[in-house]
């Protein structure tokens, strides 16, 4: 049995928040790191994605937080907007019992004006991406002189993305008397060097490493030349018709190019990369999660921290740069005891990578035959769901029940044709079975939701 949170000297409010959230036992990384963190020590923690590290550093930070002090006391840096938003949401949930704790996210790709306005009104904790945090510091709109807890989340990814200079610039603005925590899925030499520069005699703790799921069916497809790569991917998608497939590329440029090429074939595909505006990213993820887009093209960085269930298939459009990243990629499928399936495309100069993986998984990975070219003559398959967006949300007092009521009213559609409904501030998104989309949109236009006429359109 794992140790209990009640064995730690945590504030009563935090223990109450943990209990309400259903957390009683610590994960391995929490059990290893929290006793050190709660004494105020600097800690470098190596832990895989999904191991509970966010909860660990949040507890350590919130344990010392002074709610009456409106100055920024905690700074968390993350490599992507998705991860920053996800971390901020977890911190908010945990901090609810402590009173009115303000947690701000400041990330690139979003207008800086509203962020400046929010910072002027004060905050206790800031979660952001290094580039945008550095920009605020240069503008003089961010005061870090009272920060007592500095956290680098997914540190290895931030270094891979070239954020080391920005992190160094940010550290100059921080008080020397602070606690620094660094969480990383891997522990390369770069991480060790960074820890020596930013931390005071840090303690290294390790949680669970990425586990090998040997039940996932893996196939490897050799390419005689790079020109065959795109059509091989198309053939695999047309042959297996996955409802939910992540295709991994190694760079943002490759990701953008592949997304455009797949779109031109008529496939329902979405993409994740650092140049997307936040609204676009949210819509892309929403369409993929509710099964109205069959394929998500992404880099490892963009896909880090995504919590999407039931991934039928993973494709390594480009082989991962290291075996551990490959394990993490293919581990996206086959979760919860379900069958998983992963395909990897490799050039002649990457044969050694397949051999490395054979040794790691302790099994032989022989080349698989490419599906027949005749599949390219067949029409592309369509996902069973379509996402419909309406121009009303929480601020218009619209709830999911109001939308269902409108759709299933007289001359409407059956409730069985309605999937996930996501209500945001000024919009709502409804997953509807493809054959019911046209009558659903007619119904939304003809009737009122919450007593008001609304506009509805399908997202493509």
- Sheet with strand 125-128: strands edge to edge: 103-106, 125-128, 74-77, 149-152, 179-184, 43-46, 203-206
Model pLDDT for residues 219-266, shown as the tens digit of each residue: 999 998 888 999 999 999 999 999 999 999 988 899 999 999 999 999
Q: CA-CA distance, 99 to 313, in Å (whole number)?
A: 43
Q: Which residues of 244-265 are buried (b: 16+ CB within 10 A; e: fewer)?
A: bbbbbbbebebbbebbeebbee
* Beta strand pairing call for 43-46 and 179-184: parallel
Model pLDDT for residues 230-243, shown as the tens digit of each residue: 999 999 999 999 99
Q: CA-CA distance, 79 to 266, in Å (whole number)?
A: 32
% of the chain with per-residue pLDDT over 90: 63
The answer to whether 76 touches 127, Cβ cutoff 8 Å, is yes
The predicted model gives 408-419 an average pLDDT of 91
What was the pLDDT predicted at 437?
Answer: 94
Q: CA-CA distance, 298 to 375, in Å (whole number)?
A: 25
Model pLDDT for residues 346-391, shown as the tens digit of each residue: 998 899 999 999 988 888 999 999 999 999 999 999 999 999 999 9
Alpha carbon 230 to chain centroid, angstroms: 26
Model pLDDT for residues 289-300, shown as the tens digit of each residue: 999 999 999 988
- Who contacts 275 (Cβ-Cβ below 8 Å, separation ≥6)? 109, 252, 256
- Who contacts 421 (Cβ-Cβ below 8 Å, separation ≥6)? 400, 403, 404, 428, 429, 430, 431
What was the pLDDT predicted at 81?
Answer: 82
The answer to whether 292 touches 244, Cβ cutoff 8 Å, is no
7-16, 97-106, 142-151, 267-276, range with the lowest pLDDT: 267-276
Model pLDDT for residues 132-182, shown as the tens digit of each residue: 999 999 999 999 999 999 999 988 888 877 888 999 999 999 999 999 999
Q: CA-CA distance, 112 to 10, in Å (whole number)?
A: 36
- pTM here is 0.69
- Does residue 405 or residue 185 have the better pLDDT? 405
The answer to whether 161 touches 304, Cβ cutoff 8 Å, is no
195-199, 246-250, 405-409, 411-415, range with the lowest pLDDT: 195-199
Mean pLDDT of the chain, nearest integer:
90
Per DSSP, the three-state class of 217 is strand
What was the pLDDT predicted at 73?
Answer: 97
The domains located in the chain, with CATH, are 5-206 (3.40.50.300), 217-377 (3.40.50.300), 385-458 (3.30.70.330)
The predicted model gives 5-32 an average pLDDT of 91
% of the chain with per-residue pLDDT over 70: 96
Q: Provide the token pair at 319.
A: 């082989």
What was the pLDDT predicted at 17?
Answer: 92
pLDDT at residue 48 tops 80: no
What was the pLDDT predicted at 1?
Answer: 63
Model pLDDT for residues 182-211, shown as the tens digit of each residue: 988 777 777 778 888 888 888 988 876 656
Please report, to the nearest 10 degrees, the dihedral formed by the alpha carbons of residues 347, 352, 357, 360 taken in order: -170
Highest mean pLDDT among 35-49, 130-144, 201-215, 446-460: 130-144
What was the pLDDT predicted at 416?
Answer: 93
Q: How far apart are the first and last CA of the chain?
A: 48
């Amino acid at each position: 049995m794992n140790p209990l949170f009640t064995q730690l000297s945590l504030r009563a409010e935090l223990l109450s928040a943990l209990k309400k959230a259903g957390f009683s036992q610590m994960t391995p990384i929490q059990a290893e790191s929290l006793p050190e963190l709660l004494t105020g020590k600097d800690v470098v923690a190596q832990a895989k994605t999904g191991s509970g590290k966010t909860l660990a550093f949040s507890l350590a930070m919130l344990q010392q937080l002074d709610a009456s002090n409106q100055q920024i006391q905690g700074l968390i840096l993350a490599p992507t907007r998705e991860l920053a938003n996800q971390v901020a949401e977890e911190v908010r949930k945990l901090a609810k019992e402590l009173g009115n704790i303000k947690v701000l996210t400041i990330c690139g790709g979003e207008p800086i004006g509203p962020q400046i306005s929010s910072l002027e009104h004060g905050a206790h904790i800031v979660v952001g991406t290094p580039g945008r945090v550095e920009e605020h510091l240069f503008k003089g709109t961010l005061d870090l002189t009272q920060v007592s807890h500095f956290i680098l989340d997914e540190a290895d990814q931030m270094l891979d993305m070239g954020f080391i200079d920005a992190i160094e610039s940010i550290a100059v603005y921080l008080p020397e008397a602070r606690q620094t925590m660094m969480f990383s899925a891997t522990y390369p030499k770069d991480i060790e060097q960074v820890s020596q520069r930013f931390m005071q005699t840090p303690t290294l703790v390790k949680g669970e490493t990425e586990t090998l799921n040997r039940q996932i069916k893996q196939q490897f497809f050799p390419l005689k030349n790079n020109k065959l790569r795109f059509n091989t991917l198309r053939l695999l998608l047309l042959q297996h018709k996955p409802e939910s497939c992540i295709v991994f590329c190694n760079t943002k440029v490759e990701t953008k190019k592949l997304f455009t090429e797949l779109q031109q074939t008529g496939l329902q595909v979405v993409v994740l990369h650092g140049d997307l505006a936040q609204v676009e990213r949210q819509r892309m993820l929403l369409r993929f999660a509710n099964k109205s887009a069959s394929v998500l093209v992404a880099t490892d960085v963009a896909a880090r921290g995504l919590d999407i269930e039931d991934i039928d298939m993973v494709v390594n459009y480009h082989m991962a740069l290291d075996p551990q990243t490959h394990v993490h990629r293919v581990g996206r499928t086959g979760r919860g005891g379900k069958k998983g399936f992963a395909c990897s495309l490799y050039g002649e100069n990457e044969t050694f990578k397949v051999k490395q993986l054979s040794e790691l998984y302790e099994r032989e990975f022989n080349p698989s035959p490419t599906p027949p070219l005749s599949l390219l003559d067949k029409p592309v398959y369509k996902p069973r769901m379509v996402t419909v967006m309406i121009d009303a949300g929480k601020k218009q007092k619209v709830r999911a029940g109001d939308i269902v009521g409108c759709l299933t009213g007289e001359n409407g559609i059956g409730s069985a044709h309605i999937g996930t409904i996501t209500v945001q501030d000024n919009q709502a998104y409804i997953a509807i079975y493809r054959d019911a989309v046209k009558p659903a949109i007619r119904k939304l236009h003809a009737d009122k939701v919450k007593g008001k006429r609304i506009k509805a359109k399908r997202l493509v």
